[in-house]
Structure 1
Amino acid sequence: MKIDEAVKFINGTNTAFAKVEDGDLIIFEHNRVSDDWFLRFPTKAKTWRSIIDDEDCLTDVEPQDLAHVMDVIQRLLDTPVEERFPEKKYLLVIKRENPFCPKYVSNIITELSGLGFDLSIDEKEARIFSEKELNQIKKREPSLAPAIDAMKEPVEDKDDDND
């Protein structure tokens, strides 16, 4: 389970609320976001011993919501630390003389002489690349690494709420 998924699940309860702050997943009674958290989960924790709780701030959390929170925390603990964080995604954008008319890489084609790029002026046709995919391309074609790094533009998670 990823940290952002955990926040989404917890925030779907009636009486608990979660947010990430300073490397911790902090869980509050719903609508009481202040210093009154009841659970603090370091996002890189590997055991329950790393989790800090404050039972005094647990007065209005419904038992089923608390059970839901504990289930989410266990699922996070069962997920390797490196898999808890969303993978960064990028568009490859070519900005020529006119910065107002960028071209987007819509496909990468393997050719006999190397790699070729299909380009589009429409951002909707652009291919979204994961960090892992780009690193694989740079490893296969090291001469393209500087160009890929120059073209990378982070993708905003515009449709996270539509999942």
Structure 2
Amino acid sequence: MSAAITFVQGDITRERVDAIVNAANSSLLGGGGVDGAIHRRGGPAVLAECRALRASRYGRGLPTGRAVATTAGELDARWVIHTVGPVWSASEDRSELLASCYRESLRVADELGARTVAFPAISTGVYRWPLDDAARIALRAVRETETAVEEARFVLFDARAYTAFSTQPA
């Protein structure tokens, strides 16, 4: 079964869900955009678990397209699922890596027992993935992934992103 998909325009750090997906960088140590906002609002517990992951399993960083969970700290969620999106390239098709971010996040959510998951528009910020293409890839990946997650909520920061995701054909 696949998750029901919903769309919200707003701040992903304010969502009340079981798991919030973080568009992380491979270092897992915070950054700009969604990543920085989640680390700031989640507080030191998120960073502490990310540091422990780097020290134990991901010494070279989390690979692109993979996902791993930590506590959500002070966020209104139980977990943060960190995934590393690809940087967009005009000369190389990295669509499969972007789709993998969504599939892997749902796999981790299933392992955790999460029923509601909030996703950002992965790779559309500083990684420059074209919004309409990112929306098409993301929605196809979520629709086609078998999961026990009941709701996959796309939380889009602005009206442009909300429109790009919410108007994609089913």
> Is the TM value for this pair above 0.5?
no
Q: Which has the larger radius of gyration?
A: 1
Say which structure, 1 or 2, has more relative contact order (CA 8 Å, 6+ apart): 2
Q: Judging by fraction of residues, say which structure has more strand.
A: 1
